[in-house]
Structures are given as structure tokens and as C-alpha cells.
């Protein structure tokens, strides 16, 4: 088994996708945010309302911006123009939300890192907007749920 981002001399390298086939690709990632009860008490109409504004709406915008800038943040990622970037933020208990980010592209390389970055940035934005109420927020289990297109598909 070889790492794709390490050359024969053990140096970091960007994968050459020049010979890869252009296909429709998508990836879905998820991040979980666990709140202390004093933050969940602020939940109204499916969002947390703060003086900075609606938390989940802002997190979706930030996550989308993060997904679009993935190649600027992760050194060996290829810059790609996303065809789509969709979010769902769902309360799974009074003190926990799940952020799901699905990115899609027609390209020579996949969008797993964009989906993971989008979910991560959305979670970080929720933390930032709620930290004045409590620093006890936990960002947990960011993971890839699925990917399609390219040489192999994946389903968690």
C-alpha cells in the first residue's frame, strides 16, 4: 500500500490527475457538535439565535466558503470549481446537532476534502458564534459518509 501524496523519495507531492477521466463526483461528510444545555436553551425555530445572528444559517454560509477554499487550506488538494455544495444541520437531541455537507463536481478528482472542510468550517462557526455563552462546546466525529465517482465509491 502506498500513500498517493508521497513520491519514491518520500517527499510530499501533488497527485497528477492529468490522465484521469472527467466524471461526475460527489462526497458527503458529517460533523457533530455537542452543546451544554445553556446553549440549547437558545434554540428557537430550528436555529440558535445570538446577537451575532442566526447560528446555523451563518454556519452554512461559512461552510460553503470553506469548501470552496479547500485547496487554499489543504496544501496538496487540487483547486476545483464546485458544481454544488449543500448543507443540512439537524438537531438529533436537545444538546447535539449533526452537520451534513454534500459537495459535487464534474472533474478529474474527487470532492471528499471539500465536503470534510465544509462540515468542519460549519462546526467551527457554530463554536465561534456560541462560545460567549459557553466554552464547553464539543466538536466531535467529523467523518466521510460517502463518495461516488472516480475509480472507487465509498459508503460508511
Residues identified as active-site = 128
**CB-based burial label for 101 (10 Å; 0-12, 13-18, 19+):** buried
Along the 156 residues of the chain, how does pLDDT read in single tens digits? 677 767 777 777 777 777 788 999 999 999 999 999 888 778 777 888 888 889 999 999 999 999 999 999 999 899 999 999 999 999 998 899 999 999 999 998 889 999 999 999 999 999 999 999 889 999 999 999 999 998 889 999
Q: State the pLDDT at residue 53.
A: 87
- Mind listing the domains of the chain with CATH numbers? 23-148 (3.30.70.640)
- Model pTM? 0.90
Q: Which of 139, 155, 156, 146 is nearest to 31 (CA)?
A: 139
Amino acid at each position: 500500500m502506498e500513500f498517493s501524496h508521497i513520491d519514491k523519495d518520500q517527499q510530499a507531492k501533488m497527485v497528477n490527475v492529468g490522465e484521469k477521466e472527467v466524471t461526475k463526483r460527489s462526497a458527503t461528510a458529517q460533523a457533530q457538535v455537542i452543546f451544554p444545555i445553556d446553549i440549547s436553551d437558545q434554540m428557537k425555530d430550528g436555529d440558535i439565535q445570538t446577537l451575532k445572528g442566526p447560528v446555523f444559517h451563518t454556519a452554512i454560509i461559512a461552510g460553503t466558503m470553506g469548501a470552496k477554499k479547500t485547496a487554499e487550506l489543504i496544501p496538496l488538494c487540487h483547486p476545483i470549481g464546485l458544481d454544488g455544495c449543500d448543507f443540512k444541520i439537524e438537531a438529533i437531541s436537545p444538546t447535539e446537532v449533526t452537520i451534513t455537507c454534500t459537495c459535487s463536481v464534474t472533474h478529474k478528482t474527487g470532492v471528499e476534502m471539500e465536503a470534510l472542510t465544509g462540515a468542519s468550517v460549519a462546526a467551527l462557526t457554530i463554536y465561534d458564534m456560541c462560545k460567549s455563552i459557553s466554552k464547553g462546546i464539543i466538536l466531535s466525529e467529523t467523518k466521510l459518509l460517502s463518495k461516488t465517482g472516480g475509480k472507487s465509491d465509498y459508503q460508511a
